[in-house]
Homo-oligomer: A and B are copies of this chain.
Amino acid sequence: MLSERRLEVLRAIVQDYVGTEEPVGSKALTERHNLKVSPATVRNDMAALEDEGYIAQPHTSAGRIPTDKGYRLFVDKLAGVKPLSSPERRAIQNFLDGAVDLDDVVGRTVRLLAQLTRQVAVVQYPSLTRSTVRHVELLGLAPARLMLVLITDTGRVEQRLIDCPAPIGETVLADLRARLNSRVVGQRFTEVPSLVQDLPEAFDADDRATISTVLATLLETLVEETEERLMIGGTANLTRFGHDFPLTIRPVLEALEEQVVLLKLLGEAKDSGMTVRIGHENQHEGLSSTSVVSVGYGSGDEAVAKLGVVGPTRMDYPGTMGAVRAVARYVGQILAES
């Protein structure tokens, strides 16, 4: 186990390195933090920390920089979450309050988070797996052409065109609409299939094929839209990444464009509480020099989606975590209101 002072030294190294972006040496450390020991002592501690794998030197006779393991220890044991200032809190609230619909909420959130953390922000749309159906609408566009509209309790609307095997009458359609709604409104997506299974039986044989088609499309939409979408922003902040640009930034941009990658990333995070994945802890190769701070958010106590930021492993963890947590809370509130 590391002694108290050595932990203190590690904390100091992380803080300084995050601030200056340069390897930090023993002398500078003793000057900037009032450790009450001499540089030589600190050097011994640093050697020990290096043996344990918490820090490393880029080259012999350079200062030390934290390793992923070092950051991990820092985040777990040494750093708290820095709360936002109250002006910041007010700004968040004001900014989010202006949103008019779900797209707008997500858009504003992503911009806000990017600004606050000065990093790349990722916000997942509220997931539909735990959502319930608010309304199903069927519109006859042409004799054998329908549009299915699905409205969820999170305010999301999805539509699908349906080509029917046979024309369907307006009254049958109204009937179907009514029955459908009486069965599924307020129900969770996962419940829907079993609830509508026997619906065709209530109708004339002529219409059953069409009705089956409609139901199939509905189920398909439910499944398909369970795949989550997300929005990202603040990519310009990547330019503040480091000195060795193209090599670092390229894979990150590529990863960010692959929504699948990001969804997996967020998916791996814990459902509740904040998750910090540091450097190589992220499976994806392109993100091995980035950290991801993410947290679930939701309208109630249950998290319906996640949001977070992607930044260099050398980031201000307490500040970032504070911002992420605060934003998630306010978004949750906004969603609960609407």
A residues adjacent to B (C-beta < 8 A)? 100-101, 134-135, 137, 139, 141, 147, 149, 151, 155, 157-161, 224, 233-236, 238-239, 245-246, 249-250, 253-254, 256-257, 338
Q: CA separation between A234 and B253, bound complex, in Å?
A: 9
Main secondary structure on A side of the interface with B: mixed
Q: Which of A134, A161, A249 has the most CB of B within 10 A?
A: A249
Whether A250 contacts B239 by the Cβ 8 Å rule is yes
Are A149 and B137 closer than 8 Å at their CB atoms? Answer: yes
Neighbouring B residues of A239 by C-beta, 8 Å: 245-246, 249-250, 253
Question: CB-CB < 8 A to A159: which residues of B?
Answer: 101, 151, 155, 157
Give how many copies assemble into the complex.
2
A101 to B151, CA, bound (A): 16
Contacts A239-B246, A249-B239 known; A137 to B137 CB distance under 8 Å?
yes
Residues of B within 8 A of A235 (CB): 235, 253, 256-257
Write 15 A-B pairs (CB below 8 A) sorted by A numbering.
A137-B137, A137-B149, A139-B151, A147-B151, A151-B159, A157-B157, A157-B159, A161-B338, A235-B235, A235-B253, A235-B256, A236-B250, A236-B253, A238-B253, A239-B253
9 smallest beta-carbon distances between A and B, as pairs: A236-B253, A239-B250, A236-B254, A157-B159, A245-B245, A239-B246, A135-B139, A235-B253, A157-B157
Q: Which B residues touch A101, using CB under 8 A?
A: 159-160
Residue A161 contacts which of B137, B141, B155 (CB distance < 8 angstroms)?
B155
Q: Of B100, B135, B149, B155, which is within 8 A of A151 by CB?
A: B149
Q: Which one of A135, A141, A236, A253 has the highest number of Cβ atoms from chain B below 10 Å of its Cβ?
A: A236
CB distance from A169 to the nearest CB of B (A): 17
